[in-house]
Structures are given as structure tokens and as C-alpha cells.
Amino acid sequence: MEVLWVKLIPPCHPRLTASIIYCLIYHTPRALSQAVLMEHIINTCDILKIRYPSAKFVICGDFNEINTEELENALSLSQVVDFPTHNQSVLDEIVTDLSNQYLPPQPLPPVGKSTHLSILWTPIPTTTHHQPPIIRKYRPTPDSLIRGFGQWLVHYPWVEVLTVSEVDIK
């Protein structure tokens, strides 16, 4: 049994997902450590949920016929791989709470000499368009020009404007 935990902070992800915690698993075939593995994953996820409340979880890897239902129920996760990954069995699984943010997984050919299919799990493209920044150009007006404009307003002969009675002519 092998387990690796990784916490990633994606630069472009929905606002409510501050980080994604990955648990990568390899469980050897016919090993008697299924209960130990499930207990380890559930306990570690509980600890990490307390420490990182906005984190999302992806638990994936070669489970080798381990039933992940206990994991799914205990942590409110769902298994998203719905095709056989080795012969006619789903041995490689993705158990997550991010299923609504990703497209359904797609099978790919095995890598190298592996007999397991690879899995492509792609995020749903976002439709947010980034607005270009608004650039405003202005020239700072020196105090001397503001004072000069004020002097012009005070000394202007406003009689010609005030004596006209029609608004359209003013």
C-alpha cells in the first residue's frame, strides 16, 4: 500500500476552491490492508478539512478492487470513473467533491507497458471573460492655472450674457 498527499493552490480556479488536496493511492492486489487504508484516508481527510475548510479533495489511483463506497459516504465524495480501466474492472478511480467542476473522465491508451488505461479528467471551461483594464489619461492641472482660470471668471464682463433674455442665444 502506498499513499501520497499533495496540496495544490491552483492559480485559476473557482473562488470557493482555495486549494485542492490530492491523495494518490496504490493498493497492491489481494492485500489485507483495505480497512487500514480506508481509516487512514478518512482520518486524514477529516484533519485536513479542519485545517483547510475551503479545500476540495481528489482521491485517485489504483484501488485494485477496493470498494470505495465507505470512503464516498464518510466524506461526501463521488466516484467519477464509469468505464473499465483494467480488463473489465474499474480498478483506477477518482473519488472527489469536484465532480461538478470537471467533464466526465475519458479513457486513454495505457502508458508504456502498463495494462491499465490512462484517464483524462478535464476541467469544465469557464465562461468568464476578463475585461481589459480601463486606461484613463489625464494631465494634472497646476495650481497656477486653476488660480488663473478663477481670476478670468471674476474679471470677465458677464453683462452681455446676463442681458440676453432668450436661452438659445446665450
Q: Between residues 138 and 147, which one has the greater pLDDT?
A: 147
Predicted pLDDT at 129: 64
Where are the strands (E) in the chain, listed by range?
2-8, 20-26, 56-62, 78-79, 92-96, 106-108, 118-120
Residue 15 pLDDT > 70, yes or no?
no
Percent of the chain with pLDDT over 70: 94
Q: Residues 90-129: pLDDT tens digits?
A: 989 999 999 988 999 999 999 999 999 999 999 888 766 6
Q: Which domains does the chain have, with CATH numbers?
A: 2-120 (3.60.10.10)
CA dihedral for 67, 73, 75, 79, sign (positive or negative): positive
- Count other C-beta atoms under 10 Å from residue 91's C-beta: 20
Query: Average pLDDT in the 19-47 region?
Result: 92
Q: What is the dihedral of CA 73, 12, 101, 60, to 10 degrees?
A: -50
